[in-house]
Amino acid sequence: MPELPEVETVRRGLEPAMSAARIDDIEVRRPDLRFPFPMAFGARLRGRTVVGLGRRAKYLLADLDDGEVLVMHLGMSGSFRIEAEGDEATPGAFHHARSKATAHDHVVFHMSSGTRITYNDPRRFGFMSLIPRAELTEHALFRNLGVEPVGNTLDAAYLETAFRGKVTPLKAALLDQRIIAGLGNIYVCEALHRSGLSPTRPAGTLSSARPRKKPGPRAERLVVAIRDVIAEAIAAGGSSLRDYVHTDGSLGYFQHTFRVYDREGEPCRTPGCTGTVRRIVQSGRSTFYCPRCQR
């Protein structure tokens, strides 16, 4: 469910409660999520202090004081919520609502900061793992990840090189985490729309077959669109963060305004375009785009 901007929003929301705080206690309520929890997961975390909270692609990385990293992935439906310790739900008449709200709470961290951090994940596509800091970049989860979509590592020349000769559709190439790490279905659709590029265009046609001195305009447009759409979504998440924390403590979901995603049959939002948003299926995933202004 969450893409990179949502994960970054979660990271920012968790940081004040989790970073520089000790895990006084942890409840692990089932043996596995997508994968089994590591051996003695709870015992290894109990008493540890989180020295920093980072992110790589869609992975949350909690650095621990013993040199290990608690790696957390939200899968499709994972979320965290933060509550003050001892702030229990109203009993009695509201019992039903309470039990509904806490279904699928799989892991609960009791932090020395006085907060309770609960991981909830109905579909259980998420997971948690413990990896020594020194082994992280060579670990199977991380060694094949491509560049982050924001920051200066992603540029038009990189994208042209990575896509050169590829026949696979642009949509699929952008979802390939080995090239750009962190883009998901929504923001790929949005970035392609902003750059006026068709999701079905072969990735290799982003530029000429032979390397040129300067990257082509399509690659430039796409890189700018990717950076913009991700940066705007992170900003939107940040601005919604305060509201969420103050209401029910849940993190990770916020209101988006998409230009194409989930807007099948609705008018294209490109200024001056009279097209209609269309939905197609590419490698089993929905793609939303405007056939009129995306070429």
Local structure of 56: helix, strand or coil: strand
**Nearer of residues 166 and 259 to DNA, judged by Cβ:** 166
Task: Decide if 267 is catalytic.
Answer: no
Q: Give min distance, CB of 15 to DNA, in A.
A: 20
Please answer whether residues 184 and 4 qualify as being in contact, where contact means their C-beta atoms are separated by less than 8 angstroms: yes
Task: Decide if 214 is catalytic.
Answer: no
Local structure of 290: helix, strand or coil: coil
Which entry of 56, 58, 218, 263 is annotated as an active-site residue? 58
Which entry of 34, 227, 285, 292 is annotated as an active-site residue? 285
Task: Decide if 2 is catalytic.
Answer: yes
Residues forming contacts to DNA in the complex (CB under 7 A) are 1-3, 6, 34, 57-58, 73, 75-77, 103-104, 122-125, 140-141, 166-169, 172, 177, 184-186, 253, 256, 282-286
* H or E element in which residue 63 lies: strand 59-64
The rounded distance, in Å, linking the Cα atoms of 183 and 171 is 11
Task: Decide if 266 is catalytic.
Answer: no
Tell me how far CA of residue 269 lies from CA of 233, 234, 259, 281, in angstroms: 17, 21, 6, 21
Q: How far apart are the first and last CA of the chain?
A: 28
Q: Is 104 annotated as a binding residue?
A: yes
Q: Is 73 annotated as a binding residue?
A: no
**Nearer of residues 265 and 271 to DNA, judged by Cβ:** 265
**Nearer of residues 44 and 285 to DNA, judged by Cβ:** 285
CA 31-34-38 angle, to 5 degrees, is 50
Q: Is 123 annotated as a binding residue?
A: yes
**Nearer of residues 99 and 208 to DNA, judged by Cβ:** 99
Enzyme catalytic residues: 2-3, 58, 285
Q: Which residues are annotated as a binding site for DNA?
A: 104, 123, 166
